[in-house]
């Protein structure tokens, strides 16, 4: 890990640079798959499942028998853990419900805002050896609370044509309406256009590799919304002498194990803490099964010493971390002043992995500095806000003339006329 002392403000953007991704060479294949699935539907999906997942399926829909089998294969203690997580996530996301907001903006002018569910949503869950069932909790719980009618889940089959039982168990538990064994670009294209089997959806959520990321970006060109642009996972910890170096090191490593392109950063006003954390990382990384990956990410990462809390928070807001752990004496300073972060973890007993699984907050968060302008997934991600207005005769008489003047000044005579006709009818 690079140690950096008192970096000059001009060098911040260089120091805080994320490992870059190149996607240009992926775009061609993504465009091709989209094109073929748009034209040929299921037939093209099957072709690409054979090509990319090396399996041929009679039916890409998961059957109720498969779900029953999955239920038997998941241990009771994991089921209990999932249930606890589900309960906490439900409590936090249910609290995010907002009521209708209604005001009379002027005499006889009633305006209100209401949120309505996105009717059809699609979730993508990657395959591989690590089944990300926790992401299913994070996406289906708010989708159901929002009232989405159709919740489609796509996940790639393994070479035996199966999906991991923990994924099937969680999807069933959380009320997914349809599970399709389709992965990668073909899953995103399928949910974008709809095929004979895969339903077309209005918004697509969920993580994935570079192919999935580029496919989701392309989906937006065809009128489908996505949760947010994706990037490698990242964590920034701010720690002073009140922090526990061993805990801090374990948190940094927990993000580092995600992938070699993950990035972890420690910012501290204590040189001692920086040295202690460095030592702890070297000690702890050795016992990790994903040691090689974690070491790759650690190589991208930095330990940064700054002289004051003020300088620290400015640097942190410039970076905009996905996950931000605060282990300092003056917590409130950072809680009040943080503007750009996905989710914030406060105190020595709040590891980042708590938010990944079970504290109740959502783990689908903006990476790559997108915390500057994007929210993490929350209840509103599954709804859209609509406005309503009802104007009385008295109301149009109150604001009608202003509308006429403004419409005329903008050169929009028919806009004016719609008011003039009404005002004249009231004379």
- Kindly identify the residues of this chain, within the stretch 31-70, that bind a second copy according to CB under 8 A: none
Nearer to a second copy, 167 or 185 (CB): 167
Residue 319 CA to its chain's centroid (Å): 18
Measuring CA to CA, which residue among 147, 205, 127 is closest to residue 376?
205
Which of 202, 210, 259, 311 contacts a second copy by CB under 8 A? 202
354-373 binders of a second copy (CB under 8 A):
354-362, 366, 368-373
Q: Which residue stretch of 29-37, 56-64, 191-199, 214-222 sits at the interface with a second copy (rule: CB under 8 A)? A: 214-222
272-331 binders of a second copy (CB under 8 A):
284, 288-290, 294
- 151: tokens are 């919740």
- 35: tokens are 């094109």
Burial of 354 (0-12, 13-18, 19+ CB in 10 A): middle
Nearer to a second copy, 299 or 339 (CB): 339
Pairing of strands 120-124, 150-155: parallel
258 is in an annotated binding site: yes
159-198 binders of a second copy (CB under 8 A):
166
Rounding to the nearest 10 degrees, give the CA dihedral for residues 65, 68, 74, 78.
140
* DSSP 8-state code for residue 115: E
374 is in an annotated binding site: no
Binding mask 380-419 for a second copy (x = CB under 8 A): x---xxxxxxxxxx-xx--x-xxx-xxx-xxxxxxxxxxx
Which residues sit opposite 106 in a β-bridge? 109
Q: How far is the CB of 161 from a second copy (least distance, A)?
A: 21
Cα–Cα distance measured from residue 75 to residue 382, given in angstroms and rounded to the nearest whole number: 31
124 is in an annotated binding site: yes
Nearer to a second copy, 46 or 280 (CB): 280
Q: How far is the CB of 260 from a second copy (least distance, A)?
A: 14
Q: Which residue stretch of 53-61, 62-70, 111-119, 266-274 sits at the interface with a second copy (rule: CB under 8 A)? A: 111-119
27 is in an annotated binding site: no
Measuring CA to CA, which residue among 56, 43, 52 is closest to residue 195?
43
Max CA-CA distance within the chain?
Answer: 85
Strand (E) or helix (H) holding 191:
helix 184-193
Active-site positions? 322-323
Which of 38, 47, 109, 161 contacts a second copy by CB under 8 A? 109
Query: 339 vs 238, 317, 330, 371, 375, CA distance in Å?
Result: 15, 6, 17, 9, 11
Which of 85, 173, 298, 313 contacts a second copy by CB under 8 A? 85
Q: How far is the CB of 363 from a second copy (least distance, A)?
A: 10
Verify binding: residue 107, a second copy, rule CB under 8 A. no
* DSSP 8-state code for residue 371: G
Verify binding: residue 88, a second copy, rule CB under 8 A. yes
* DSSP 8-state code for residue 320: -
Annotated binding site for substrate: 233, 255, 258, 323, 356, 410, 415
């Amino acid at each position: 890990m690079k140690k950096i002392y008192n970096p000059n403000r001009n060098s911040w953007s260089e120091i805080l640079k994320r490992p870059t991704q190149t996607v240009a060479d992926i775009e061609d294949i993504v465009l091709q798959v989209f094109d073929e699935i748009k034209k040929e539907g299921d037939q093209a999906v099957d072709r690409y499942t054979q090509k990319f997942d090396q399996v041929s399926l009679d039916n890409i829909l998961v059957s109720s028998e498969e779900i029953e089998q999955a239920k038997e294969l998941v241990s009771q203690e994991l089921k209990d853990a999932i249930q606890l997580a589900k309960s906490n996530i439900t409590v936090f996301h249910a609290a995010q419900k907002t009521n209708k907001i209604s005001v009379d903006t002027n005499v006889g002018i009633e305006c209100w805002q209401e949120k309505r569910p996105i009717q059809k949503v699609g979730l993508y869950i990657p395959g591989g050896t690590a089944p990300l069932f926790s992401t299913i909790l994070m996406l289906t719980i708010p989708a159901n609370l929002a009232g989405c009618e159709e919740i489609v889940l796509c996940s790639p089959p393994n070479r035996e044509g199966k999906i991991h039982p923990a994924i099937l168990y969680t999807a069933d538990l959380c009320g997914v309406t349809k599970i399709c064994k389709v992965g990668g670009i073909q899953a995103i294209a399928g949910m974008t256009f709809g095929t004979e089997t895969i339903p077309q959806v209005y918004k697509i959520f969920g993580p994935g590799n570079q192919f999935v990321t580029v496919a989701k970006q392309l989906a937006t060109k065809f009128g489908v919304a996505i949760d947010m642009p994706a990037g490698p996972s990242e964590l920034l910890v701010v720690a002073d002498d009140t922090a526990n170096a061993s805990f801090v090191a374990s948190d940094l490593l927990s993000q580092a194990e995600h992938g070699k392109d993950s990035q972890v950063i420690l910012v501290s006003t204590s040189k001692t803490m920086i040295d202690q954390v460095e030592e702890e990382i070297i000690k702890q990384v050795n016992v990790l099964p994903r040691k090689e990956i974690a070491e790759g990410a650690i190589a991208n990462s930095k330990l940064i010493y700054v002289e004051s809390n003020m300088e620290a928070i400015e640097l942190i807001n410039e970076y905009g971390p996905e996950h931000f752990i605060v282990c300092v004496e003056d917590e409130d300073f950072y809680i009040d002043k943080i503007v750009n972060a996905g989710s914030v973890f406060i105190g020595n007993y709040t590891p980042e992995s708590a938010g990944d699984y079970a504290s109740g907050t959502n783990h689908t968060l903006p990476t790559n500095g997108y915390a500057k302008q994007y929210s993490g997934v929350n209840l509103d991600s599954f709804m859209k806000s609509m406005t309503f207005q009802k104007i009385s005769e008295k109301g149009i008489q109150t604001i009608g003339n202003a509308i006429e003047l403004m419409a005329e000044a903008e050169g929009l005579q028919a806009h004016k006329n719609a008011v003039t006709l009404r005002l004249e009818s009231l004379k």
